[in-house]
Structure 1
Amino acid sequence: MAQDSQESQASTGAAPREGGTAGSHPGAIAQGLIRAGKVEAQHVLASAPTDRGLCHFRALGCQTTHSNQEVLQSCSLIIFATKPHVLPAVLAEVAPVVTAKHILVSLAAGVSLSVLEELLPTNAQVLRVSPSLPCVVQEGAIVMARGRHAGSSETKLLQNLLEACGQCEEVPEAYIDIHTGLSGSGVAFVCTFSEALAEGAIKMGMPSGLAHRIAAQTLLGTGKMLLQQGQHPAQLRTDVCTPGGTTIYGLHALEQGGLRAATMSAVEAATCRAKELGRK
């Protein structure tokens, strides 16, 4: 659900109808659920303050509105996907129509479960979810944490839905902000590395389009090997290295450039920013 003059991002839900607010992560979740057949597009109701924020949902065949309260009156599973500083105003608007039937899910970075519960009626069933953009191709990494009043059945319902968008795990709330830095922001970090890989090949004479395709496929294949074979990255890295070979020379160059420390610092910075947004 969205409120305020800013474009909020919105999204998906569950039976009998889905509700939310419109944009990148929520749009990715909606598209992932619809593609997987978990929900029908006409059972998704998205709200945003302007038509521009709803174009993607209309293209998917979802219902749309500019009224946040209409979403709660029509849907049982509600996903709040506003900016963190906008969320309190949205919750204040919809609080009068929140009932025991609602499952309330927040995608807002840094906004704790305790804050959400303070802003909503007593005993509201609240959960926090941290998704990632690859949900749009059903390969997202998603973590979720439940509030004090959300039961196991509500949690399992949400997890079952979100598994259509990729890997979904319930975690302690303390991990949510870390996940934002690792996976939410990590998509941009990985894209930067993919771009750099391709540009290295371009520098050496490979055509741009081919270089970018090979770089992306290399990331995809490596990720699948790590997940499917259950190997630690260090083991796979060791398997690729041969004494005096090309890989160890390349790894030496990466270490000289500080890749490992810079990546760790990027995740730390993004995590700290997520916590900072919550405090604000």
Structure 2
Amino acid sequence: MAKIGFIGTGNMGRAMVKGLAQSGLYQQQDLYIYDRNLAVAKELAQDLGIQSTETPQALVKACDRIIFAVKPNVLPAVLRALVPEVTADKVVISVAAGISLEKLASILGADHKIVRVMPNTPALVGMGMSAVTQNDQVTQAELAEVLAIFASFGKAEAVSESLIDAVVGVSGSAPAYVYLFIEALADGAVMEGMPRAQAYEFAAQTVMGSAQMVLETGQHPGELKDMVCSPGGTTIAAVKTLEEAGFRAAVIQAVQVAAEKNREMAEKNAASKK
């Protein structure tokens, strides 16, 4: 059985570790974590019944699959410090935005097995959406294993690296757009006299239920929208107002802006020598 290690236990790292530990995919003794805040890592390891290490080098030596859940601006330096321990038989998994497979290979070596993953924050509640892309050194069996790891706290799909910018716009950054929408829905209800806490519950449950209908029915979102819009009714009047305010165009532009920002980050990181 492969041993899985996580370097970094911030919000995303903690979510991934908890999801995997609770999934039953791996034995607790096969899961390792390291964080520069050793006390935090030890406490999390004790809570989950898994292993923590005193150094990142010790984790890399012990593990076959290493997930780097650190900020993009520090990942290159972290990888360079670990090059002697990261042998070509290990699978390196990065969740850092804006750092390409090519850039990662330039640090580790072209013969290394490298995977990029773009998860999102709903992984914290086991409802994440992760995009997975790999270099040519990664086998189909290894890719399937990585997909299973990330599916343990949501859903995961393999995509071409050329789609990663789109993924950032449509799922990586998108929870923030959805939270804005939920907040706006609740604000509208509060204006109509509903208590704030109740307004958030109604708004959030409605968004979650609507999303589940898209996933479970397989129907086009436009069809589902039409099912709610009775002729001359309240919903079509509200939809008209949203269209007049440029709702869909604003969302499309937000996705494109996030994707473009990710491209800019990737170009900057590719040019960086740090």
TM-score when normalising by structure 1: 0.89
Q: SS state of the match for residue 231, structure 2? A: coil
Counterpart of 2:17 in structure 1 is 30
1:214 aligns with 2:222: no
Q: How many Å apart are 1:168 and its aligned residue?
A: 0.8
Q: Which residue of 2 aligns with 1:158?
A: 146
Mapped to 1, the partners of 2:150 and 2:90 lie a distance apart of 17
Aligned residues: 267
Deviations 1:208-233 (A, max 9, x none): 11111111110111111100100111
Q: Does the Cα contact within 8 Å between 2:118 and 2:164 map onto a contact in 1? A: yes
Matched with 2:170 is 182
Q: Could you list the runs of 5+ residues in structure 2 that have no partner in the other structure?
A: 269-274
RMSD between superposed Cα atoms in Å: 1.8
Report the equivalent of 2:240. 252
Structure 1 residue corresponding to 2:214, chosen from 223, 226, 248: 226
Please list every run of 5 or more consecutive structure 1 residues that lacks an aligned counterpart in the other structure: 1-13
CA contact (8 A) 1:23 1:53 kept: no
Q: Which amino acid aligns with 2:258?
A: A
One-letter amino acid of the counterpart of residue 36, structure 1: S
**1:125 maps to what in 2?**
113
**Deviation per residue, 1:222-255 (Å, 9 max, x gap):** 1111001001111111111011100011111212
- 1:25-79 deviations in Å (ceiling 9; x for gaps): 2221112112222234553322222347637734444433452211111111101
| Percent identity of equivalent pairs | 37
Residue 200 (structure 1) aligned to one of 183, 188, 191: 188
Matched, 1:138 2:126: yes
> Residue 73 of structure 1 aligns with which residue?
61
Residue 190 of structure 1 deviates from its aligned partner by 0.4
Within-5 A mapping of 1:91-130: 91-130=79-118
Query: 2:6–2:13: 8 Å Cα contact kept in structure 1?
Result: no
Does the 8 Å contact 2:66/2:90 carry over to 1?
Answer: yes
Q: Which runs of 4+ in 1 moved over 4 A?
A: none
Which residue number corresponds to residue 50 of structure 1?
Answer: 37
| TM-score normalised to structure 2 length | 0.91
